C-alpha cells in the first residue's frame, strides 16, 4: 500500500468480528513495523523496497517483534486516550497481542502482494507473486476503505446491541 493506514480497514473488520479478542492498536503497530524497511529504502535509496519484511518469513519475525513491543505500547496508548485508568488498568493478553500482530503482518503481505511487483511473499522458496494484479490498485484501495466503514458499522452495532441487551437484563431484573 502506498500509505500504511490503508491497512487498518481490514483490521477494523477483524476487530468487529473478534471484538475484545483482537487489539486494533497492536494490529496497527504491526502495520507500522512492516513498513519501516520500505521507509528506510525510500529515505536512503539503499536496498530492496519490499524486501525481506514483505515475505512470510519476515512477517513472522516482525509479528513477534510487534507483539512483544506492541502489547506494552498499546496499553500505554489506551491509558493516554483514557480507555484504561490507573485504578482499572486494561491489560492486553499475550495471546491477543500475538494474534493481532500475526494477522497484521500477514494481511500486510497479502495486500501489498496484490499491488507491488517487487513483493516476493514466499521467498526464498519462490520468487513468484501469484496475487499481483488479482484486483486493480483502485479496487484494492476501495476494498481497504470500504472495509473500514463496514467494520466500524459492525463494531458499533455489536457494541450498541450489547449495551441494549444489558439494559434489557437490568430492567427485567428490577421488574421482579
For the chain, where are the alpha helices, taking DSSP H only? 8-18, 24-34, 36-44, 56-80, 94-115, 137-175
**Residue 163, pLDDT score:** 84
**Residue 133, pLDDT score:** 93
User: Do 56 and 122 touch, CB atoms closer than 8 A?
Assistant: yes
User: What residue ranges do the domains of the chain occupy?
Assistant: 4-175
Judged against a pLDDT cut of 90, whether residue 4 lies above it is answered with no
Which cell goes with 40? 528506510
This prediction's pTM: 0.88
Which cell goes with 22? 483482537
Each residue's pLDDT tens digit, 52-95: 999 999 999 999 999 999 999 999 998 888 887 766 668 999 99
Amino acid at each position: 500500500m502506498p500509505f500504511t493506514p490503508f491497512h487498518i480497514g481490514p483490521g477494523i473488520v477483524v476487530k468487529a468480528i473478534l471484538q475484545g479478542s483482537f487489539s486494533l492498536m497492536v494490529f496497527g503497530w504491526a502495520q507500522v513495523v512492516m513498513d519501516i524497511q520500505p521507509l528506510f529504502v525510500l529515505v536512503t535509496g539503499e536496498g530492496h523496497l519490499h524486501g525481506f519484511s514483505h515475505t512470510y518469513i519476515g512477517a513472522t519475525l516482525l509479528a513477534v517483534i510487534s507483539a512483544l513491543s506492541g502489547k506494552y505500547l498499546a496499553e500505554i496508548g489506551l491509558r493516554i486516550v483514557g480507555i484504561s485508568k490507573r485504578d482499572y488498568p486494561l491489560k492486553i493478553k499475550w495471546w491477543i497481542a500475538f494474534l493481532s500482530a500475526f494477522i497484521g503482518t500477514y494481511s500486510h503481505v497479502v495486500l501489498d502482494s496484490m499491488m507491488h511487483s517487487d513483493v516476493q511473499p514466499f521467498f526464498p522458496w519462490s520468487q513468484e507473486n501469484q496475487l499481483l494484479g488479482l484486483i486493480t490498485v483502485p479496487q484494492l484501495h476501495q476494498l481497504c476503505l470500504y472495509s473500514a466503514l463496514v467494520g466500524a458499522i459492525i463494531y458499533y452495532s455489536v457494541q450498541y446491541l450489547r449495551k441494549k441487551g444489558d439494559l434489557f437484563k437490568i430492567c427485567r431484573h428490577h421488574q421482579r
